[in-house]
Structure 1
Amino acid sequence: MRRGWPRSLGLRLLLGSLLWVLLAIALSALLLSWLFEQHLTRQLDAELDRHLHQLIASLEQPADGPLQLRRELSDPRFSRPYSGLYWQLDSLPEHAGLPAVQLRSRSLWDITLPVPDGSGIAPGSPVSQSLPGPQQTQLYARALHATPVRPEQPALLLRVAADQALLDQPLRQFNRVLLASLASLAGGLLLAIFIQLRLALRPLARLRSELRAVHGGQRQQLLGDYPSELQPLVDEFNQVLQDNTASIERARTLAGNLAHALKTPLSVMHNAAQANDSPLAQLFRKQLAQTRQQIDHQLARARVAAALRSPGQRTAVEPVLQSLLRVMRALHAERALQLELQPPSDELAFRGESQDLQEMLGNLLDNACKWASQRVQVSAHAAQGQLQVEIDDDGPGIAEAALEKVMQRGIRADERTPGSGLGLSIVNELAQMYQGRLQLQRSPLGGLRASLRLPLASD
């Protein structure tokens, strides 16, 4: 994962879209503002050029007098002081030997526009200029260099100017409206992108939910139709699940066949040893019993390993407990034990094989019934996202120092009690293979509490 990038695919797409939208909006704002400014400038140029041509048409040169304005220009702003629209006519300084000429509009009042040392303007073509104006304003002007008709007349510089605010104010107003409009557009686009991303990523959320259901034991395959971009992935994943399930079933069948092949000669040897009561025959029977237990134990380990790789495993807890309690009541009928089950508040399910759950709980219940005086109590509930089953008895219990020791293979708390010492060890190993654990502690009933934690199948 590249540093600095968010892990969320939706957030990546949203941030990428946000950057592109903001960049496009910014470029659009600059371009539209520039185009509008050019439009305003062309309009003002056209207006000032019209006044400039009208000024030229209004000039007259009497034969016996100075240059003068035959009539006032048509726009009344030229007659109102500091109105924002001005004109001025000057003879150029390079013609100092000829009589100087200067005419101004009344709107300039007592202000004279500065005359440059050299016009820098080609005769006959109006150009734009920026000039200081009355009352510390800035003017936008169109200037024209007019060549004299007769040699005794100086060259003239005609200028018509308008307040720069005529350009700046409309442009500012346009920019405000433009930014507000583009901001609204950007918000609408981002909202549309967000909604589109939610709709586009919804199949991924549904796929994640289906995967969670497979992992939690509710499904054995991914269900539903997906977009064409995801459907091949779903089909391939389902095919992998099918192949994995088939491989596990083949491994179970081979293990079962091997166990059956081993148990048959073991049974024959056990029956043969039963006919003889010699010390050698007794040793033989004992070794055969341990060998059978080891086979059962290793088969259980192989079954758990297969179950962990197989999706869709789910076993309801309460029916298994009810069934085991019925068996225990029958096995220990002569002792008249009081076996109690506190019904779970929820429909709890174990994420694993039913046979493994029966073996673990059966060993713990059998152990509790062996040591109980009168009462065994069983409860099951969900704790920290796991299934927790607690089995309490009112027997003598086990000393604190021996709690860990009794879960070791072949160790019994009391050698006088029948058993091989493998029950708690098998339960502990199976629980650990399911990423669970078995914990022994003092019971509130006075005896031993066996607390078994296992993976919980999600709803």
Structure 2
Amino acid sequence: MPNKIRPTLKRLSLKSRLVLAAIVWLTAMVFAAGISVPNQVLNYMVDDTKGQLNLFIDEISASIEADETGNITLANALSDPRFNRPYSGLYWSAQTDSDLLRSRSLWDKTMVSERNAKEMLGARGETLIFVKTNLYYPDYKGPIQVLIGIDEQPIKDTVRDLMSQLWVILALLYFGVLLVIMLQVQWSLSPLTKMQKELAQLRSGDKTRLDQDYPKEVSPVVSDLNALLFHYQELLERARHHGGNLSHALKTPLSVLKNEINNLDSNTQQHLLPSVEQIQSQIDYHLGRARMAGSKNILSVRSNVASRVDAISMAFDKLYANRQITLVNELDSEIDVAVEQTDLDEMVGNLLENAYKWSNTIIRVYSEPGEIGDINIIIEDDGPGIPNEDVNQVTQRGVRLDETTPGSGLGLNIVSEMAHSYRGKLSLSTSHLGGLKVTLSLKLPPNHEKHCRDSD
């Protein structure tokens, strides 16, 4: 099989494979029937005709008389009138060494043997079905060779007419059986089609589990998948719950420690504050990772990017009102991403906060088509930007290029790892505005890809 065909066959669906196998099998069977049946019918009719010719030989042998010299005569007329009609297509002849007797249908011709006696030609040169035998009589010592033949063409015409009708029957049978097989395949694979639709509903948020009404061959898979979904949701809910409890449990003691340290002398503060801040940094980092466990129902999450950017930018406009920064939101209001809203707020919030900190006057937010199934959310500013040699470092945990600006150095790292948990990615480059260009690639929800391509 050619190498180019194999990948194509591997990509065929189960339905296509079953239908293709049925087409190949049916086509082979129909052609085999179309070739073998005419030969079988022709052989049967030839054998039946030879049986009738043997009956004529019996009649001829009973009517022939021969003397000692080999002269032969036909004492009684034969029953079939075609023997007396010239060129009728039914002939006979009887021959000795000294005499030849033939039917009137041969007129003045004789039956001629062709191709080493495998074919016999009649009075009009037509191919004959023939039977030859030798008769022996008491008065004549030598054999009397009797030959009888009949035109083969009427039998071939009959077989041809029969096969023209047979091909119509075979064609109807072919398409009829193929239709039944396709219906059978459609009906047999309908549970898988149903499962595909339910999985799409599960991803779009219309369902939280699959139905149990499946055949026994598919039901165990559905049950295990439902159990896996339930277990996954329980684990995520438990992780988020414990993360929240830990955050509240540690917040108060750390605040007390910081307040007590601030009451100490400056020398002691310089020794103790870095350790407390390091503890705070570690807590923030690991709580951020706990949030990146994903959504409670990650298969069906959907968030609108434009509305979340508007909501977050309103808060930052108030926080950084003294800097008079303008944010231009060019995002399509109908673009959704497959990210839970709180996680999307976490990622977009960190990126917009960095943009507000470093931009001079303007921040631009827009989208571009990404890879198949992805959308790129792009945030650009006109700030100082990041040198190319430092781009790969700023997404690492705790890295801060400017120690004078408040922050823990965890924002971009958390965004990068959170995007990765949603099968996305974060990349940095230089903006056309002169500052930093942040590209956040995220997955589109099911049935949302075509809309985004059309709108772009």
TM range (shorter): 0.7 to 0.9
Identity, % of aligned positions = 35
- Secondary structure at 2:300 match in 1: coil
Unmatched runs of 5 consecutive residues or more in structure 2: 1-5, 448-456
CA distance in 2, matches of 1:399, 1:456: 31
Q: Select the residue among 370, 373, 377 that pairs with 2:360.
A: 373
In the alignment, is the contact (CA less than 8 A) between 1:5 and 1:12 conserved in 2?
no
- Superposition deviation, residue 187 in structure 1: 3.6
CA distance in 2, matches of 1:344, 1:409: 32
- Secondary structure at 2:258 match in 1: helix
Between the two proteins, the alignment pairs up a number of residues equal to: 438
Q: Cα gap change, 1:283/1:436 in structure 2, threshold over 3 Å: closer, same or farther?
A: farther
Q: Select the residue among 329, 332, 356 that pairs with 2:343.
A: 356
Unmatched runs of 5 consecutive residues or more in structure 1: 92-98, 116-128
- Superposition deviation, residue 86 in structure 1: 0.6
Q: Counterpart amino acid of 1:356? A: D
Partner of 1:344: 332
- Superposition deviation, residue 250 in structure 1: 2.5
Q: Cα gap change, 1:152/1:355 in structure 2, threshold over 3 Å: closer, same or farther?
A: closer
Q: Counterpart amino acid of 2:130? A: A
Partner of 1:123: none
CA distance in 2, matches of 1:137, 1:80: 16
Partner of 1:118: none
Is residue 41 of structure 1 aligned with residue 46 of structure 2? Answer: yes
Partner of 2:454: none
In the alignment, is the contact (CA less than 8 A) between 2:53 and 2:149 conserved in 1?
yes
Is residue 197 of structure 1 aligned with residue 182 of structure 2? Answer: no
Partner of 2:272: 284
- Secondary structure at 2:423 match in 1: coil
In the alignment, is the contact (CA less than 8 A) between 2:305 and 2:331 conserved in 1?
no
Is residue 439 of structure 1 aligned with residue 427 of structure 2? Answer: yes
Q: Select the residue among 84, 103, 106 that pairs with 2:104.
A: 106
Is residue 311 of structure 1 aligned with residue 303 of structure 2? Answer: no
TM-score (norm 1): 0.79
- Secondary structure at 1:311 match in 2: helix
In the alignment, is the contact (CA less than 8 A) between 2:360 and 2:382 conserved in 1?
yes
- Secondary structure at 1:18 match in 2: helix
In the alignment, is the contact (CA less than 8 A) between 1:217 and 1:457 conserved in 2?
no
Higher deviation after alignment, 203-212 or 233-242: 203-212
Partner of 2:452: none
Q: Select the residue among 319, 328, 332 that pairs with 1:331.
A: 319
Q: Counterpart amino acid of 1:358? A: D
Partner of 1:25: 30
In the TM superposition, what whole-angstrom CA distance separates every residue of 1:69-114 from its partner, at most 9, and x where no partner exists?
Answer: 34544544323444321111234xxxxxxx9553211222344458
Is residue 321 of structure 1 aligned with residue 309 of structure 2? Answer: yes
Cα RMSD, aligned residues only: 3.9
In the TM superposition, what whole-angstrom CA distance separates every residue of 1:251-276 from its partner, at most 9, and x where no partner exists?
Answer: 33334444444444333322322332
Q: Cα gap change, 1:277/1:376 in structure 2, threshold over 3 Å: closer, same or farther?
A: farther
Partner of 1:119: none
CA distance in 2, matches of 1:139, 1:188: 40
- Superposition deviation, residue 61 in structure 1: 7.7
CA distance in 2, matches of 1:399, 1:393: 14
Q: How is 1:37-436 mapped onto 2 (pairs within 5 angstroms)?
A: 37-41=42-46, 43-45=48-50, 47-49=52-54, 51-56=56-61, 58-59=63-64, 67-70=72-75, 72-91=77-96, 100-113=98-111, 131-134=120-123, 136-143=125-132, 146-148=135-137, 151=139, 156-215=144-203, 219-222=207-210, 225-307=213-295, 310-345=298-333, 347-380=334-367, 382-384=369-371, 385-436=373-424
In the alignment, is the contact (CA less than 8 A) between 1:378 and 1:391 conserved in 2?
yes
Q: Cα gap change, 1:235/1:50 in structure 2, threshold over 3 Å: closer, same or farther?
A: same
> Based on CA coordinates, which of the two structures has the bigger radius of gyration?
1
In the alignment, is the contact (CA less than 8 A) between 1:244 and 1:310 conserved in 2?
no
CA distance in 1, matches of 2:300, 2:281: 29
CA distance in 1, matches of 2:287, 2:385: 31
- Secondary structure at 1:415 match in 2: coil
Q: Cα gap change, 1:381/1:6 in structure 2, threshold over 3 Å: closer, same or farther?
A: closer
- Superposition deviation, residue 167 in structure 1: 3.2
Partner of 1:449: 437
CA distance in 2, matches of 1:43, 1:212: 67
In the alignment, is the contact (CA less than 8 A) between 1:146 and 1:158 conserved in 2?
yes
In the TM superposition, what whole-angstrom CA distance separates every residue of 1:137-191 from its partner, at most 9, and x where no partner exists?
Answer: 442224565553x556866444331123343333344344434532443244334
Higher deviation after alignment, 365-374 or 171-180: 171-180
CA distance in 2, matches of 1:35, 1:299: 83
TM-score (norm 2): 0.79
Q: Cα gap change, 1:5/1:47 in structure 2, threshold over 3 Å: closer, same or farther?
A: farther
